[in-house]
Amino acid sequence: MKINTLGYSIKQGLKNIRRNLLFSLASVGTIVACLFLFGIFYSIVLNMENEIQSVEDSLTISVFFAEGTDENRIAQIGDELKAIKNIDTLNYISADKAWSSYVEDVYDGNEDYVHSVFGDDNPLVNSSSYEVTLKNIAKQEETVSQIEKIDNVRRVNSSDGTARSLNSLNRLVGYASMGVILILLLVSLFLISNTITIGISVRKEEIAIMKLIGAKDIFVRAPFLVEGVIIGLVGSLIPLGIIYFMYNSVIQYLTEHFTIVANMMHFVPVGQVFKGMAPIALLMGVGIGFFGSLITTHKHLRV
C-alpha cells in the first residue's frame, strides 16, 4: 500500500470513528470491559497456577532401601534415580538425619528427654532414604512404578491423592481460562462488527461510487480496517493501565487486612504478570478490531 493511500485510510478511519462516535465508544467500552475482565481473570489464574506450582514443588517422594543395603549400593540407586527423566531433584536423608528431624518435630528438640527414653539408639536406623521431587506431577504414578523396579528399593512413599487433585485442578483452571477468553472474544467481535456495519451503511453511496469508478477492494476496506484496529488498540490500552495501577493496591489491601491470605499466598509481582498479559491483551484488542472489521467488510462490501 502506497504512503498516500495509507494516509488516506488512517484519515478516513479516524473520520469514521468521529461520525459514529457513540457506537465507537460503545465498542471501545465493550473491549475495555472484556479485556479488563480478562486481565483480572488472567491475574487470578496466574497466581493460582503459581500456588499450585509451589505445592507441586513441595511434594516429595521418599525412596527407602532394603535392610542391609550398603552405602555403595545406595549411591548406585541414586545414580539410577537421576537417570529417570521425570525426576527433578534428589536429596539423600541419612538415618541419623531422619532421627534428628523426628526429634525436632515431635519432641521440640528436647534431646535430654529423648536420650533418657531411647539412650544412644536410633530407632530409625533402617530409615535412610532419598527425597525426590518431580518435573511433572501428572506422571507421578509412572515414575513411582519405575522407582519400585530398582533393586534394593524396599518402599516408595508418595502422595497419589494430592497429585491427582493438583492435576485435576490444573486441567479445570485451563478449561475455565479458555472458556472465559472465548466468550469475551465473541462479545467483542459482535460489537466491533455492529460498529463497522453502521459505518458502511452511512457511507454506502460513497462506497458504491468508489467501486463504480474502479476503486480496488483493499482501498475501500482499508479505512474500516484502520477503524477497527484503532478501536481495538484503545480498548486494550485502557484496561492494561487500570489493572497495572490496581494490582499492587489490591495485593497490599489483602495482605494488610487479611493475614491468612498473606500467609497462604505468594503473589506474583506485577512486572511478571504484565510480561505475559500485556502482549496477549494488545494482540487480542487489535486482533478483535482487525478481524471484526475484515469479516464485516467482506460481508457487506459486495457492491
What are 216-226's pLDDT values in tens digits?
Answer: 767 777 777 88
What are 219-276's pLDDT values in tens digits?
Answer: 777 777 888 888 888 888 999 999 988 888 888 887 777 767 666 677 888 888 888 8
pLDDT at 125: 62
Q: Does 49 or 191 have the greater pLDDT score?
A: 49
Give the rounded distance of the alpha carbon of 50 from its chain centre: 8
Q: Which of 11-20, 111-120, 285-294 has the highest mean pLDDT?
A: 285-294
Q: For residues 32 and 240, what is the distance between their CA atoms, to the nearest angstrom?
A: 9
With both helix axes pointing from N to C terminus, report the angle between 270-300 and 160-202 in degrees, rounded to the nearest 10. Answer: 40
What are 129-159's pLDDT values in tens digits?
Answer: 888 888 887 788 888 888 888 888 888 887 7
What are 51-93's pLDDT values in tens digits?
Answer: 777 776 677 888 888 877 788 888 888 888 888 888 888 888 8
Identify whether the C-beta of residue 143 lies closer than 8 Å to the C-beta of residue 87: yes
The answer, yes or no, to whether residue 105 has pLDDT greater than 80, is no
Model confidence band, residue 299 (pLDDT cutoffs 50, 70, 90): low
pLDDT at 237: 92
pLDDT at 180: 74
What are 173-217's pLDDT values in tens digits?
Answer: 777 777 777 777 777 667 666 666 666 666 666 666 666 676 676
Which cell is 12 given? 478516513
pLDDT at 167: 66
pLDDT at 238: 92
Strands (E), the chain: 61-65, 87-93, 129-134, 153-157
Q: Does 118 or 40 have the greater pLDDT score?
A: 40
Domain residue limits, the chain: 3-55+175-300, 60-158
Give the rounded distance of the alpha carbon of 287 from its chain centre: 20
pLDDT at 103: 62
Which cell is 292 given? 471484526
Give the rounded distance of the alpha carbon of 103 from its chain centre: 41
Identify whether the C-beta of residue 209 lies closer than 8 Å to the C-beta of residue 232: no
CA distances from 248 to 26, 197, 243, 271 (A): 29, 40, 9, 10
Identify whether the C-beta of residue 137 lies closer than 8 Å to the C-beta of residue 61: no
Q: Does residue 84 sit in helix, strand or coil?
A: coil
With respect to CATH, is domain 60-158 assigned 3.30.70.890? Answer: no
pLDDT at 303: 46
Q: Is pTM beyond 0.85 here?
A: no
- Position 169, amino acid: L
The answer, yes or no, to whether residue 280 has pLDDT greater than 80, is yes
CA distances from 110 to 96, 125, 198 (A): 16, 20, 80
CA distances from 75 to 22, 65, 71, 154 (A): 74, 11, 6, 15
pLDDT at 111: 62
pLDDT at 200: 62
